[in-house]
Each structure stands twice: as C-alpha cells, then as structure tokens.
Amino acid sequence: MEMISPEEKQKLTEQLEEMKAKRPEISQRIAEARELGDLKENADYHAAREDQGVNEARIRQLEERLGKAMVMGEDSSVPDDMVFLGATVKLRNVDSEDEMLYRLVGEATGVFSEEVIEVTSTSPMGSSLMRARIGEVIRVNLPRGIKRFEIVEIIT
C-alpha cells in the first residue's frame, strides 16, 4: 500500500479528471479521421487511436493508484510533534550544525526548490523521518556514510 499526502491525492485526482475530460476530444479526432477514408494509410486516425490508448492507460493507472493509496495526515489522532507524510521538517545536522528543511512525500513531484528538499517515504532519509518526534536524533544511512540529524521543528 502506497502512502500519499492529502496534497498528492488532490493532484492525482485533478490529473485523473483532466485525462477523463480528454476522452470526448480524442473520440472526436478519431471520428474526423475516419471520415477521411482509408484507415490503413490514415496517419491522423492512427495518431488519435494511439493518443486514446495512452490516455486510457494513464486513467487506469491513476484510478488504481488512488484506489490503493492510503492518505496520511487525514487522521486527527496523529500527534503534532510527530513526523508524517506531507510534513515539512527542519533538521539540524548533528556534526556540522547546518539546518535544512525537508518535506516528506509519498512520491517525488520533480519540483526542485532551494528552500525545501523533498524526500520520499521509501528513501533512507524518509524512512528515518517517518514517525520521528521533535527533539529526536535520527540516523540516516546515506551513500557517503551514516549521518545524524536532530529534528528541530515540524513546520506543517
């Protein structure tokens, strides 16, 4: 079961609705291409059919993902001082005293920011952060060795 934040659920739902909204447009393209005649050599028809297949596959993928996903953060019993999916956390590197902001997400969005570093819940950092509390020191097994971070603050 995949864990996603409420924001990720909203984005996936919006993507699903966009894909479903494309169905009539693609069907119209197929109908118009059919009217042109011979389907064997009709590039417009084949392109529209391929677009339809890609769109339907994406719809099935999004529906399946949303159906199996567990939305974190919707449960009001989660303590305010505990890190869960969707939280932005200020961490202090125990060795260097540097502080950075990290956001725990279910799946990387691909959006890069100088202020906040996204970490997935399945990454070494993410799995160490999950359910950790303010003031706790976590150990993260990174490619360049083990690093220790103190959880200073949970922003959201």
Give the pLDDT confidence of 84-119 residue by residue, as tens digits.
877 889 999 999 989 999 988 877 777 777 888 888
For 69, phi then psi, to 5°, come to -75, 145
Q: What's the pLDDT tens digit per position in 63-72?
A: 998 888 777 6
Judge: domain 88-154, CATH 3.10.50.30. yes
Helix or strand run (H / E) with residue 120: strand 116-120
Say whether pLDDT at 1 is over 70.
no
pLDDT at residue 26 in the model:
94
Q: What CATH number was assigned to the domain covering residues 3-71?
A: 1.10.287.180
State how far the Cα of 84 lies from the Cα of 111, in Å rounded to an integer: 20
What's the token pair of residue 1?
């079961």
- Where in the chain are all domains bearing CATH 3.10.50.30? 88-154
Residue 131 or residue 148, greater confidence: 148
Q: Is the distance from CB of 66 to CB of 134 less than 8 angstroms?
A: no
Say whether pLDDT at 5 is over 90.
no
Mean of per-residue pLDDT scores for the chain = 86
Q: What's the pLDDT tens digit per position in 14-25?
A: 999 999 999 999
Amino acid at 106: G
Say whether pLDDT at 73 is over 60.
no
* DSSP classification of residue 136: P
- Where in the chain are all domains bearing CATH 1.10.287.180? 3-71
